[in-house]
Structure 1
Amino acid sequence: MAFVQLAEGELHYQLDGPVDAPVLVLSNSLGTDLHMWDPQIAAFSEHFRVLRFDTRGHGQSLVTPGPYSIEQLGRDVLALLDALHIERAHFCGLSMGGLIGQWLGINAGDRLLSLVVCNTAAKIGDPSIWNPRIEMVLRDGQAAMVALRDASIARWFTADFAESNPAVAKRITDMLAATSPEGYAANCAAVRDADFRDQLSAIKVPLLVVAGSDDAVTPPSGGHFIQEHVRGAQYAEFYAAHLSNVQAGDAFSERVLAFLSGH
């Protein structure tokens, strides 16, 4: 296990692939950890030095008092790159990771070679969605995380995929049950408060937007909005719910690799 020391604690990360290859950073969704990207590692690491990390409040990374902000999480990524002496990298983030990617594209585009944002939006939900969830998690702790896990299967996967791949669905949703309640609530606040709708035009790096056709959390309309507001952005859509990298698997990996290979 590898860790980078931040001012407030340790950020957990993992590296795969050739040491001399271009770096591709993968950023997890809310309530998962770096292993959500396991389906992509074999394909991605053939071409890239793949850098995965547990976002603050998740997995084995530091859990600090909340609320967090997407800027704070984006600065964690920059600190990770600095600590590993990586000047520029490709970045791919899903859901909350896609918000982090948007922040980086807007505020630190000089550190990016290209950007992929998946199953995300410039603004995800509103306080009426997030505040009750934050309150429940802070009140009920681990019991709330278990309840969220059981409800997440329908949000993260289409019904036919979950029924046909129960072990896969369980592996991913178990990550949610294992997430720190304090860390999860703090990250919910970061997602709640993020709104990049008026800043997207500042993204100048090559951008691919990926959406899931059946994603009720971040519908394709949110992906189209991002694409329409970033000059030259590409768009791809798969039959999937919220975790398109898991459900679309190889097709997702091939589309992202095709984009990255051009940049």
Structure 2
Amino acid sequence: MQGLSFFTTGDGVRIAYRMDGDPSLPVLVLSNSIGTTLHMWDGQIPALSRHFRVLRFDTRGHGASGVPLGAYSLDRLGRDVVELLDGLKIRRAHFLGLSLGGFIGQWLGVHVPERIDRLVLANTSAYLGPARQWDERIAATLQAPDMTDTAETFLGNWFPAAMLQVGGPVIDAFRAMLLATDRQGLAGAFAAVRDTDLRRTIALIDAPTLVITGRDDTVTAAIHGAEIAATVPHAELLELPVVHLSNVERPDEFLEAVQKFLLPR
């Protein structure tokens, strides 16, 4: 695909990535929500690439990356990022992750603190149990004839009803991402969330951290983000009047907060 590069992880999975911005700038890694591709950040790239060398990637099981069968683990998703940084000879980077990307960001902050400068965790949680609900979602996803119903459920959880009713190119783009997502990849990522509990270990994060929550988020409730901010030492907390994809629903406020936090003061 145009604009994409690829590398292969230690366990043999091909990961798609893209870089934007001048190579001399500090690196900012962007990590996606479940069910999306690196294009979920398209709206932020023009502004962010003026200040950063922006590195985006398709999480395994999504987009142009490989789709290994079976359950994924957060440890493996985190090591995908570390191996990508190693392959590109990037010693340290800022990291911005939303939803599943926020889980990955927390793992990185705990396990490889020497690789992370500043950390932004958007619309995410440290724990989304119980496990049974994820087992049910995995089974339903794999048994469904296609991704149609799953896609509409996701869209309903991601955007306010008024925005969905109006529709338009933004909603169409995210629907297309969902419909193109391999069900095995989605199920694998569900398993990674199912098996993750970072509620205690994130107290070890020492990177300056900004936590962004959505007031109306029904996927990762605002209280989840508040609990992360209360556990991570000296973390900052910002609540936006959004549902789940805060970078899409309120792009100006999201971008302003991210740049204010990441840029030199």
Band of TM-score, shorter chain: over 0.9
CA distance in 1, matches of 2:249, 2:241: 8
Offset at 1:165?
4.5
SS state at 2:55 partner = strand
SS state at 1:131 partner = helix
Give the structure-2-normalised TM-score: 0.95
Deviation sequence 1:57-113 (CA, Å, 0-9, x none): 000001112200111000000000000000000000000000000000011110001
CA contact (8 A) 1:119 1:244 kept: yes
For 1:150, the equivalent position in structure 2 comes to 152
Offset at 1:147?
1.0
Letter in 2 for 1:28: N
Residues 48-197 of structure 1 aligned to structure 2 (within 5 Å) = 48-140=52-144, 143=146, 145-197=147-199
Choose from 221, 224, 238 the match for 1:222: 224
SS state at 1:224 partner = helix
CA contact (8 A) 1:10 1:62 kept: yes
1:199 aligns with 2:186: no
Structure 1 ranges of 4+ moved more than 4 A? none
Stretch of structure 1 that moved more, 92-101 or 120-129:
120-129
CA distance in 2, matches of 1:117, 1:254: 15
CA contact (8 A) 2:141 2:150 kept: no
Residues 5-84 of structure 1 aligned to structure 2 (within 5 Å) = 5-7=8-10, 8-84=12-88
CA contact (8 A) 1:33 1:59 kept: yes
Deviation sequence 1:188-213 (CA, Å, 0-9, x none): 00011111001111000000000111
CA contact (8 A) 1:40 1:250 kept: no
CA distance in 2, matches of 1:6, 1:103: 18
For 1:3, the equivalent position in structure 2 comes to 6
CA distance in 2, matches of 1:14, 1:59: 12
Give the structure-1-normalised TM-score: 0.96
CA contact (8 A) 2:31 2:38 kept: yes
CA distance in 1, matches of 2:242, 2:204: 29
Letter in 2 for 1:61: S
CA contact (8 A) 2:13 2:60 kept: no
% identity of equivalent residues: 46
Offset at 1:262?
3.7
SS state at 2:200 partner = coil
Offset at 1:160?
2.0
Provide structure 2 residue ranges, at least 5 long, that are not aligned to the other structure: none
For 1:249, the equivalent position in structure 2 comes to 251
CA distance in 2, matches of 1:153, 1:64: 25
Q: Kindly tell me the number of residue pairs found equivalent between the two proteins.
A: 261
SS state at 2:190 partner = helix
For 2:236, the equivalent position in structure 1 comes to 234
Offset at 1:125?
3.5
Deviation sequence 1:191-246 (CA, Å, 0-9, x none): 11111001111000000000111100111100000000111101111111111111
